[in-house]
Amino acid sequence: MTDISLSDLTTGTVVHPGDDEWDAARAFHSGIGEPTVIVRASSVDDVRAALRYAASERLDVMVRGGGHSAWGAVPGGVTLDLDAIDEIRVDGTLVHVGGGATWGAVAHALAEHGLGISSGDTASVGVGGLTLGGGIGWMVRAWGLAADQLVGAQLVTARGDVLEVNADSHPDLWWALRGGGGNFGVVTRFDFRAHPLSHVVFATLGVGGDARPVLRALRDTMKVAPRELTVTYMHVPPMDPSAPPGATISACWIGDDEAAARAALAPLYALDGVTETELGVRSYPDILMEMPAADPDQPMPGFVGGNTLLGDLTDEAIERLVAFREANAASVLFLRSLGGAFGDVAQDATAFPAREATWFAMAGAFDVPGLVHDGNRPLIQAEWDAIEALGAALYGNFTPSTDPGLVTRMFSPEAMARLAQVKRQYDPQNLFCRNHNIAPA
């Protein structure tokens, strides 16, 4: 231990337990954290000082952008809050984004310039966490992952060094940042190459009856669909007014051509039980979801299930996914189409796994007393495990568990070995371990 005062080292705000701001500062999207101290950084120098302090005190570091990560629930350590480092600067199609910015703010800023970046589905999600984990979004088939649109980054290492990272500078680290998560440092600035985007056509189709033929038709439709189209299928239980129950297909078409969007979706309109709820031209920021803040009196229930990246949405996968949803009353099923530009990227070009995947699938039962109990919990997990076995890898950004063993299911053995070598070079003491952690080689 040292006698260094963190308050003397930063121009940002340091929040300790008992301070007036403590309860507000430790809240994150799905709960209330119990860190040792919170540093609200306002500059790169603040980040460097916080990391020096954490290393001197032998405290783990949890980096917070949007605050959606489940790792906020792990007690102890330094929570490094980047919320104030949120500048968004547009230079032609090159966009510089602070590490604490959220995707809603980025979408609004870019819309003023007729530009867009494929991000996640939720406005309050942080740019940092989503991008470092890959970032599957509404334009994934046209533009790839959020990480695929990245052209550079400013990163502060565990030693406090400030690096400019890109394809020509620190190429090993550049490879690892795009899909390897927050294991290698604190990214204080992301540089993206944006795309022209005036509007999108957004459609919602209601789905009734047996989902199996609908999902088979959706799979076949997306095999030949233009890359401008990305779709999701979601079936949710009666949970709360902000999440209407039932099954829906949502579709996003790049551009304002309603006729082209409807033509691409035409095979679905022909199905029994499928009805159009909405279809119209919207701005991209308007289709991003707004998530409610955490309610300490109503914590999020546990989740028994998981996700996987599927090479193909086979009939077997469809049957198992639909059967899982039917067998568990308080469960959710989510599918997102991939392929296109996502699959154009060579597997060894980034750390992100399973570039051959054409669908992302997630299903899980909410661990609600009376619906899930000790007797059937292992059976539900076994049902999911059989589904996951059909896929190639887990997607870390949709993995709410803090189980440290899950990381081995996110990468191939070869990628894990390469990531561990990069980790040893840039964070040999594993200061950044509050994540799906890559241990130093």
The string of DSSP codes covering 172-214 is: HHHHHHTTS-SSS-EEEEEEEE-EE-S-EEEEEEEE-S-HHHH
**pTM tops 0.85, yes or no:** yes
**What pLDDT does 302 receive?**
81
What was the pLDDT predicted at 240?
52
Cβ atoms of 358 and 312 within 8 Å: the answer is: yes
Tell me which H or E stretch contains 155: strand 150-156
pLDDT for 3 equals 41
> Which pLDDT does position 297 carry in this prediction?
72
Residue 274's nearest CA partner among 312, 217, 320, 227 is 217
Give the CA distances from residue 224 to residues 61, 119, 315, in Å, rounded to whole numbers and listed in that order.
45, 23, 18
DSSP assignment of 226-262 equals -TTEEEEEEEE-S-BTTB--EEEEEEEEESS-HHHHH
Per DSSP, 48 falls in state H
Q: With a cut of 50, which residues of the chain have pLDDT below it?
A: 1-3, 241
CA 210 to centroid of chain Cα atoms: 30
- Residue 102 DSSP label: B
Would you state the pLDDT for residue 1?
34
**For the chain, counts of helices (H) and of strands (E):** 15, 20
Chain segment 181-218, per-residue pLDDT in tens: 999 999 999 999 999 999 999 999 999 999 999 999 99
Please give the structure tokens belonging to residue 222.
């997306």
Chain mean position to CA 186 = 17
Q: Give the H/E segment covering residue 61.
A: strand 61-64
End-to-end CA distance of the chain: 27
Given a contact cutoff of 8 angstroms between Cβ atoms, the answer to whether 396 and 436 are in contact is yes
Q: What is the pLDDT of residue 63?
A: 97
pLDDT in tens, 293-326: 767 677 677 889 999 999 999 999 999 999 999 9
| 274, 268 Cβ separation under 8 angstroms | yes
What the chain holds in terms of domains, given with CATH numbers, is 8-81 (3.30.43.10), 88-196 (3.30.465.10), 200-399 (3.40.462.20)
Rounded CA-CA distance 265/344 in Å is 23
**pLDDT in the model for residue 374:** 82
CA–CA distance, 266 with 221 (Å, rounded to integer): 9
**Neighbour order of strands in the sheet with 61-64:** 13-15, 37-40, 78-81, 61-64
Which strands form 229-236's sheet, in the order they lie side by side? 274-282, 200-207, 246-254, 229-236, 331-337, 359-367, 302-310
Between CA 156 and CA 159 the distance in angstroms is 8
CA-nearest of 88, 107, 100 to 286 is 107
Q: Which residue has the tokens 């995947």?
A: 357
